Amino acid sequence: MGILLFGAAKDIAGVPVLEKPAHISDVAALKAWLYEVYPSLQQLKSMMIAVNRAYATDEQTISQQDEVAVIPPVSGG
Amino acid sequence: MGILLFGAAKDIAGVPVLEKPAHISDVAALKAWLYEVYPSLQQLKSMMIAVNRAYATDEQTISQQDEVAVIPPVSGG
Amino acid sequence: MEILINIKETITVQEALDFIQSPECGGEVIFAGTVRNHTKQREVLKLFYECYEAMAISEMQKIAVKVQEKWAIQKLVMLHAVGDKYPGDLAVVIAVASAHRGIAFDACEYVIDLLKETVPIWKKEFFADGEIV
Amino acid sequence: MEILINIKETITVQEALDFIQSPECGGEVIFAGTVRNHTKQREVLKLFYECYEAMAISEMQKIAVKVQEKWAIQKLVMLHAVGDKYPGDLAVVIAVASAHRGIAFDACEYVIDLLKETVPIWKKEFFADGEIV
């Protein structure tokens, strides 16, 4: 599955979904890859990764079947 | 003016208004007189006197022109 | 601070909302007190609220003054029902509008707490077992 | 605890009230967040709310679980609007019903605080001066 992008992260990437490179197997690696491809993401106050609709730690592994999303600082309410 | 009675105080006295004896000139004297005439008022958790629509202290004087009321424990809300 | 104070037979949350909602305020906190069908496990048939209206309005105004001294609140509503009230009926509505939600919560709770302590309104409870307290 | 969670174009306080008001509960606390016509003195034309809906619903459910662990709340409503919202429009409604008003205030404030921290919803602000943030 692709990587879903929301809010400011979507604006920075310019697209709502990214293809996940096959070699990325955990959250830390995904973040590093995102920062490399879109350096502006480093300007976000925070960038969380959600795996299967739940906030994930850097150590969490990611498989091809997982629903992965990039969560910039939320601002609901 | 008469003395207005509300809530449990009105139920105990059995009337909504009492004639104020002319010799009563402060809140403490009014309370003493009320307790004497209606001893059951002593069963109330509290009995405040309002003079001109504001809670009054025992020391406050009462004139014939004042609006006086007996305020048992309130239970609004 | 704009203030709406009212004591009458029937009150609604909507009239409180209509008064406080405005594009200037971001946060509104509303407390609605309804008649419960039980008190300490005993079935309640109805309540009867009476009030010393002139003094009740005056005490509510005093609460509004205290709120104004403590917090930057834009709008405050205090509504209280009187007469026969049945389970599910609204007895009281407090509504507060402020730019900041934290103080709106604080002010709303303060108002209902103080109203229950100082405003001369009395309820009589009519229980299913026949007792009236 | 009965729970109503909803994310949609238009929300109302009334639907929250309809869900929480019951003769079993004495106290209802409602928080309504409306779009303000200014942010830090700058005029706001509109907000646009987007959300990661499946996860937002899941995070709202997690908040409900935490509320249930902390307090004896009977009913909880969380509504959030999405799409274009103009000054005065409702953005969020939280409603809590409980037999005791103190915990209803605590729970309602807890829910809105946590919702703003954890639920994946984002707003874009469209300012009168043309900036979009």
What is the structure's pLDDT at D39? 87
pLDDT in tens, chain A (77 residues): 789 999 999 999 999 999 999 999 999 999 999 999 999 999 999 999 999 999 999 999 999 999 999 999 999 99
Residue D54 — φ and ψ, nearest 5°? -60, -45
D17: pLDDT strictly greater than 80: yes
Q: Rounded distance, CA C84 to CA C131, Å?
A: 16
Per DSSP, the residues of D80-107 read EE-EEE-TT-EEEEEEEEESSHHHHHHH
Neighbours of chain B (3+ CB pairs under 8 A): C
Q: How many domains does chain B have?
A: 1
For an interface test with D, which of C101, C115, C125 has the most D Cβ atoms less than 10 Å from its Cβ?
Answer: C101
- Closest residue on chain D to A47 (Cα): D120
Domain total of chain C: 1
For residue C132, tell me if it sits in a domain.
no
CATH assignment at residue A51: 3.10.20.30
Per the CB < 8 A criterion, the answer to whether D82 and D49 are in contact is yes
Question: Which residue of D23, D27, D31 is in closest CB contact with C33?
Answer: D27
Query: What's the pLDDT at D40?
Result: 84
Cα B53 to Cα B75, C18, C54: the distances in Å are: 17, 30, 7
Instruction: Name the pLDDT band for B69 (thresholds 50, 70, 90).
Output: very high
CB count within 10 Å of CB C79 equals 24
What count of residues does chain B have? 77
* Residue A18 domain boundaries: 3-71
Q: Is residue C133 one of the residues assigned to a domain?
A: no
Which pLDDT score is estimated for A28?
98
User: Which subunits sit against C, judged by 3+ Cβ pairs under 8 A?
Assistant: B, D
Of A7, A50, A77, the CB nearest to D55: A50
Average pLDDT over residues C70-95: 97
Residue D132 lies in a domain: no
Is A36 contained in some domain?
yes
Which band of pLDDT confidence, cut at 50, 70 and 90, is reported for residue D23?
confident
| Domain assignment of residue B43, yes or no | yes
Judged by phi (left if over 0) then psi (alpha if -120 to 50, else beta), residue C38 lies in beta
Instruction: Give the residue-averaged pLDDT of B23-44.
Output: 96
Q: How many CA atoms lie within 13 A of A5 on its CB side?
A: 18
* CB-based contact B38:B52 (threshold 8 Å): no
Output the domain CATH number for residue C65.
Answer: 3.90.1170.40
**pLDDT classification of D22: cutoffs 50, 70, 90:** confident
- 0.90 exceeded by the pTM? yes
Tell me if C120 and B74 make a contact (CB, 8 A cut-off). Answer: yes
> Beta strands C2-8 and B48-51: pairing type?
unpaired
Coil vs helix vs strand at B1: coil
- How far away is chain C from the Cα of B21, in angstroms, using its nearest Cα? 22
CA angle, residues B74, C1, C3, in degrees to nearest 5: 45
Does residue A50 sit within a domain? Answer: yes
Q: Which residue of A has its CA nearest to D51?
A: A6
Range of the domain at C111: 2-127
Whether C117 maps to a domain, the answer reads: yes
**pLDDT number for residue D24:** 84
Give me the pLDDT at residue C22, please: 84
* pLDDT exceeds cutoff 80 at C35: yes
Each residue of D30-62: pLDDT tens digit?
A: 999 999 998 888 999 999 999 999 999 999 999
Classify residue C47: in a domain, yes or no: yes
Place of tokens 């309640």: C44
pLDDT tens digits along D61-109: 999 999 999 999 999 999 999 999 999 999 999 999 998 899 999 999 9
